[in-house]
């Protein structure tokens, strides 16, 4: 959603954008939408009516009346009633006007925020269904600011734009017509000022648009920086980088602030600047009116109404020009949102996918090549890997760090698709299977197990919501986690805290293993599943895993060779290739890389000190 969204800013023309806004969102709320426009029209008409009433009203009050008077050409009243009637009509009209405006605002708020909600839900759905490679290539802050801010910009464009636009255009037109009735030449003088005002507005509008764009970019940077600092708080503290990070974030905030202030300024200054023109017009009008009143051509009421209308028209014009800014900001945001919403995941199912039935599964990699696609292009990672795991077999992957072991594992649940070659499950290409049936058959324990901010029980049963308490406890026992869970303040109901922060690494790993036990899937993928455990619990968990592996196809990665020596087959992966394969004894006998690793580990040398043969 990051880069393409920004590059395609100009791709969709405005018309298409509006059409889509209508088709995807507004048309679902037709009644509310047209009612709000209808109410806007009423409010505009009532405003113009209120001012139009001023002329006859004031004239009626100021003229001496010898007998009964015609009031508004509707009925005849005694002159003494006028003093109550005129204010009464003004109050009635203004109440009607306020009610319409309030009703319209309430409708528009519901409609606008409803649309924001719709867009946010869709964005989240796109994110959760997006390819891993896309999510990896984009900063999470970009996504967060898009969900939080872009959708709201679109709403503002819609509320201010579509609805207030109608209202203000109507007011301006209505007022001009009403003014024309009072005094045509005067109205023409006023119209002369319009181009001047709109020129000023356009100039300020341009500046505020530019500022808004800058502010939006800095908002993304800011939210990324905030998240990164929270994630990396330990590194920041141990390296004493608090002040440096403060300075970094302060710089981002300052930059953002400068844009925001510039935008707010140009919006705020646009009013006063055009007021100068507006008041010059008012002055000209007063001068002309005084001259024409002295010749008896204009009444006091007409004059008062005219000035009132002039003010109102000025206000509406000012709002209209603000609208162009809001609209263009909103449309930029809409373009970005739509581009993000349109990205289809590349990892998809066929039209009629086969389903992988529950039961033993044999996995085979045929000549698999794979390259990560990153912002900097393709990174070739696997290079012709052939590998087979049959039901009941345990196959181990070992080799230097960065060799491609975790990558192989992530191809099996189709987190990524192979670049060439193929992977089959029971002879069926993974790409022909339905994603859910494939992933249902796989249990995965990763290098960095992730826990949700929920209870221990919920974390073990994640994905198996129907699991009973007994099943959860059984899985925890099998993962050697039951004891420590009982020791927690609320046992299985203890919340593990945000990102599982309140548990040790080994405890988290055992929860993840319990999750795998509960899933009871025929394919088991273990990526350093026991690396964070002490020797004793590793032995315990290993026994449990050995039981779990029975009858399943297990692919495990381990750095500690003691963990893999009993595997049916060991593949040594280096630089994206299988360089050796066989049983522990076979590989020791060939005295290759594996034999060297084994020798070094019996000296207790940590494997990471080995030269990295990938050259990375």
Ligand X SMILES: Nc1ncnc2c1ncn2[C@@H]1O[C@H](COP(=O)(O)OP(=O)(O)OP(=O)(O)O)[C@@H](O)[C@H]1O
Report the interface residues with Mg ion, using CB under 5 A: 406
Work out how close the CB of 383 gets to ligand X at its nearest, in angstroms, rounded to a whole number. 11
Site for ligand X in 390-429 (CB under 6 A): 401-407
Choose one: 187-195, 327-335, 372-380, 474-482; the region binding ligand X (CB under 6 A).
372-380
Among 177, 283, 379, 589, binds ligand X (CB under 6 A): 379
Q: Which is nearer to ligand X, 495 or 560 (CB)?
A: 560
Helices (H), 232-366: 233-238, 242-294, 300-342
Q: Are 554 and 395 in contact (CB under 8 A)?
A: yes
Q: Are 207 and 266 in contact (CB under 8 A)?
A: yes
What's the token pair of residue 162? Answer: 């579509």
Work out how close the CB of 378 gets to ligand X at its nearest, in angstroms, rounded to a whole number. 9
Total residues at interface with ligand X (CB under 6 A): 13
Is 104 a binding residue for ligand X by CB under 6 A? The answer is no
Q: How far is CA 118 from the centre of its chain?
A: 12
Q: Which is nearer to Mg ion, 414 or 559 (CB)?
A: 559
Q: Which long-range contacts (CB under 8 A, 24 or more apart) does 141-144 make?
A: 141/220, 141/221, 141/222, 141/223, 141/224, 141/225, 141/226, 141/227, 141/228, 142/1, 142/2, 142/220, 142/223, 142/224, 143/1, 143/2, 144/223, 144/227
Q: Which is nearer to ligand X, 271 or 404 (CB)?
A: 404
Work out how close the CB of 367 gets to ligand X at its nearest, in angstroms, rounded to a whole number. 18
Q: Which is nearer to ligand X, 378 or 589 (CB)?
A: 378
Residue 52 binding target from ligand X, Mg ion, none, CB below 5 to 8 Å by type: none
Pairing of strands 569-574, 394-398: parallel
Helices (H), 63-139: 82-129, 132-137
Q: Which residues contact 133 (CB under 8 A, 6 or more apart)?
A: 346, 372, 373, 374, 416
Work out how close the CB of 379 gets to ligand X at its nearest, in angstroms, rounded to a whole number. 5
What's the token pair of residue 194? Answer: 């319009």
Work out how close the CB of 611 gets to ligand X at its nearest, in angstroms, rounded to a whole number. 14
Provide the Cα torsion 543, 544, 547, 550; round to 10°: -100
Q: Which is nearer to ligand X, 405 or 552 (CB)?
A: 405
Residue 372 binding target from Mg ion, ligand X, none, CB below 5 to 8 Å by type: ligand X
Work out how close the CB of 199 gets to ligand X at its nearest, in angstroms, rounded to a whole number. 52
Q: Which residue has the tokens 């009423």?
A: 42
Work out how close the CB of 445 gets to Mg ion at its nearest, in angstroms, rounded to a whole number. 12
Is 506 a binding residue for ligand X by CB under 6 A? The answer is no
Work out how close the CB of 453 gets to ligand X at its nearest, in angstroms, rounded to a whole number. 25
Query: Count of CB atoms within 10 A of residue 544's CB?
Result: 20
What's the token pair of residue 431? Answer: 């790409």
Q: Please tell me whether residue 443 adopts helix, strand or coil conformation.
A: strand
Residue 401 binding target from Mg ion, ligand X, none, CB below 5 to 8 Å by type: ligand X
Work out how close the CB of 152 gets to Mg ion at its nearest, in angstroms, rounded to a whole number. 40
Per-position x/- string for 515-554, each x denoting binding to ligand X as judged by CB under 6 A, each - no binding: ----------------------------------------
Q: Which is nearer to ligand X, 133 or 437 (CB)?
A: 133
Q: Which is nearer to ligand X, 31 or 375 (CB)?
A: 375
Nearest Cα neighbor of 167 from 337, 34, 44 is 44
Site for ligand X in 126-155 (CB under 6 A): 136
Q: Which is nearer to Mg ion, 397 or 523 (CB)?
A: 397
Query: Count of CB atoms within 10 A of residue 520's CB?
Result: 14
Is 237 a binding residue for ligand X by CB under 6 A? The answer is no
Residue 381 binding target from ligand X, Mg ion, none, CB below 5 to 8 Å by type: ligand X
Residue 235 binding target from Mg ion, ligand X, none, CB below 5 to 8 Å by type: none
Buried b (16+ CB within 10 A) or exposed e, 351-388: eebbebeeeebbbbbbebebbbbeeeeeeebbeebebe
Residue 390 binding target from ligand X, Mg ion, none, CB below 5 to 8 Å by type: none
Q: Which residues contact 292 (CB under 8 A, 6 or more apart)?
A: 183, 186, 298
Residue 379 binding target from Mg ion, ligand X, none, CB below 5 to 8 Å by type: ligand X
Residue 136 binding target from Mg ion, ligand X, none, CB below 5 to 8 Å by type: ligand X
Q: Which is nearer to Mg ion, 472 or 526 (CB)?
A: 526
Q: Which is nearer to ligand X, 401 or 471 (CB)?
A: 401
Work out how close the CB of 19 gets to Mg ion at its nearest, in angstroms, rounded to a whole number. 48
Q: Which is nearer to ligand X, 205 or 403 (CB)?
A: 403
Work out how close the CB of 522 gets to Mg ion at its nearest, in angstroms, rounded to a whole number. 23
Choose one: 26-34, 374-382, 454-462, 583-591; the region binding ligand X (CB under 6 A).
374-382
Q: Which is nearer to Mg ion, 36 or 407 (CB)?
A: 407
Work out how close the CB of 449 gets to Mg ion at its nearest, in angstroms, rounded to a whole number. 13
- The count of residues in the chain is 616
Q: Which is nearer to Mg ion, 219 or 381 (CB)?
A: 381
What is the rounded distance in angstroms from the CA atom of residue 540 to the CA atom of residue 546? 10
Work out how close the CB of 516 gets to Mg ion at its nearest, in angstroms, rounded to a whole number. 17
Query: Count of CB atoms within 10 A of residue 304's CB?
Result: 17
Residue 283 binding target from ligand X, Mg ion, none, CB below 5 to 8 Å by type: none
Q: Is the dihedral of CA 14, 16, 17, 18 positive or negative?
A: positive
What is the rounded distance in angstroms from the CA atom of residue 283 to the CA atom of residue 292? 14
Q: Which residues contact 510 (CB under 8 A, 6 or more apart)?
A: 476, 479, 480, 481, 484, 533, 537, 541
Q: Which residues bind ligand X (CB under 6 A)?
A: 136, 372, 374, 379, 381, 401-407, 616
């Amino acid at each position: 959603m990051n880069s393409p969204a920004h590059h395609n800013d100009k791709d969709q023309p405005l018309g298409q954008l509006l059409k889509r806004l209508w088709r995807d969102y507004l048309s679902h709320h037709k009644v509310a939408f047209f009612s709000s426009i209808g109410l806007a029209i009423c409010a505009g008409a009532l405003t113009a009516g209120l001012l139009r009433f001023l002329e006859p009203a004031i004239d009626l009050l100021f003229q001496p009346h010898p007998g009964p008077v015609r009031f508004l050409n509707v009925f005849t009243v005694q002159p003494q009633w006028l003093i109550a009637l005129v204010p009464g009509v003004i109050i009635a009209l203004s109440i009607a006007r306020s009610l319409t405006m309030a009703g319209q605002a309430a409708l528009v708020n519901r409609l606008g925020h409803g649309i924001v909600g719709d867009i946010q839900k869709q964005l989240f759905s796109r994110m959760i269904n997006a390819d891993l490679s896309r999510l990896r290539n984009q900063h999470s802050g970009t996504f967060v600011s898009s969900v939080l801010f872009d959708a709201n910009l679109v709403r503002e464009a819609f509320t201010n734009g579509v609805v207030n636009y109608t209202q203000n255009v109507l007011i301006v037109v209505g007022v001009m017509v009403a003014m024309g009735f009072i005094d045509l030449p005067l109205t023409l003088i006023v119209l002369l000022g319009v181009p001047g005002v709109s020129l000023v507005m356009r100039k300020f509008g341009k500046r505020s648009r530019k500022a808004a764009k800058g502010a939006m970019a800095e908002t993304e940077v800011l939210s990324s920086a905030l998240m990164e600092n929270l994630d990396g708080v330990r590194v920041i503290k141990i390296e004493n980088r608090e002040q440096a990070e403060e300075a970094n974030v302060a710089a981002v905030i300052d930059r953002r602030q400068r844009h925001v202030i510039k935008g707010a300024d140009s919006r705020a200054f646009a009013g006063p600047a055009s007021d100068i023109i507006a008041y010059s017009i008012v002055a000209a009008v007063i001068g002309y009116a005084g001259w024409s009143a002295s010749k008896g051509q204009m009444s006091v009421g007409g004059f008062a109404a005219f000035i009132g209308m002039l003010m109102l028209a000025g206000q509406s014009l000012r709002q209209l020009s603000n609208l162009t800014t809001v609209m263009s900001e909103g449309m930029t945001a809409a373009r970005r949102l739509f581009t993000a919403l349109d990205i289809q995941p590349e990892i998809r199912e066929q039209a009629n996918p086969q389903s992988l039935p529950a039961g033993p599964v044999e996995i085979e990699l045929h000549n698999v090549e794979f390259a990560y696609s990153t912002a900097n292009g393709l990174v070739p990672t696997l290079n012709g890997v052939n590998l087979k795991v049959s039901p009941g077999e345990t196959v181990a992957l070992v080799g230097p760090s960065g060799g491609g072991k975790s990558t192989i594992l992530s191809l099996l649940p189709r987190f990524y698709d192979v670049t060439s070659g193929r992977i089959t499950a029971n002879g069926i290409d993974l790409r022909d299977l339905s994603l859910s049936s494939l992933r249902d058959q796989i249990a995965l324990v990763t290098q960095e197990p992730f826990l949700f901010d929920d209870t221990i029980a919920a974390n073990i049963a994640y994905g198996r919501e129907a699991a009973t308490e007994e099943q959860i406890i059984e899985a925890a026992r099998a993962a050697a986690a039951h004891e420590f869970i009982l020791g927690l303040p609320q046992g299985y109901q203890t919340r593990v805290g945000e990102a599982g922060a309140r548990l040790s690494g080994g405890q988290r790993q055992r929860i993840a293993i319990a999750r795998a036990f509960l899933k009871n899937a025929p394919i088991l993928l273990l990526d350093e599943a026991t690396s964070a455990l002490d020797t004793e619990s590793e032995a315990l968990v290993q026994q449990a895993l050995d039981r779990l592996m029975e009858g399943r196809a297990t692919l495990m990665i381990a750095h500690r060779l003691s963990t893999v020596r009993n595997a049916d087959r060991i593949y040594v992966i280096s630089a994206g290739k299988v360089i050796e394969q066989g049983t522990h004894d076979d590989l020791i006998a060939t005295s290759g890389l594996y034999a060297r690793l084994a020798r070094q580990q019996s000296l207790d040398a940590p494997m990471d000190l080995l030269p990295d043969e990938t050259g990375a």
